[in-house]
Amino acid sequence: VSTQSTGSSGINAEYGGQPVLIGGTMGTCSYVLTGTEKGMERTFGTTCHGAGRAYSRAKSRRNIDYLTVLQNLKDKGISIRVASPKLVMEEAPESYKNVTDVVDTCHGAGISDKCIKLRPVAVIKG
């Protein structure tokens, strides 16, 4: 797996050998995967589209401090532009499951192959 820098967005359809972008969070990595024959046979060519939420948006707003999230992103060298503190809390990395664990599961099951690991450098939230 090579490491590159880019943004992220999740999609869930894959076709044998075609690349798909698996989005992480604004503070964690994302991945590019490719489809496999096994994936075509067992999942009709689909794979994960991201890690999925660990906390609801409401729980995130109640339990996560947006200033701490901003500082953690800054410490990682990630620039952020966001419309409101509410979005920072709702989309905080802690609000999501570990994308690497999810991608490793898909890779281990043979339904998709890991190709590239991507690191966020900037985040823009509406």
The single residue of 11, 43, 49, 76 carrying the catalytic annotation is 49
State the DSSP H helix or E strand holding residue 4, giving kind and residue range, or none if neither.
strand 2-5
Find all residues with CB under 8 Å of 115, minimum gap 6, and list them: 1, 2, 19, 31, 32, 33, 34
- Would you put residue 2 in left (φ > 0), alpha (ψ -120 to 50) or beta? beta
The three-class DSSP label of residue 88 is helix
State the DSSP code for 93: G
- Is residue 107 annotated as a catalytic residue, yes or no? no
- The residues assigned a catalytic role are 49
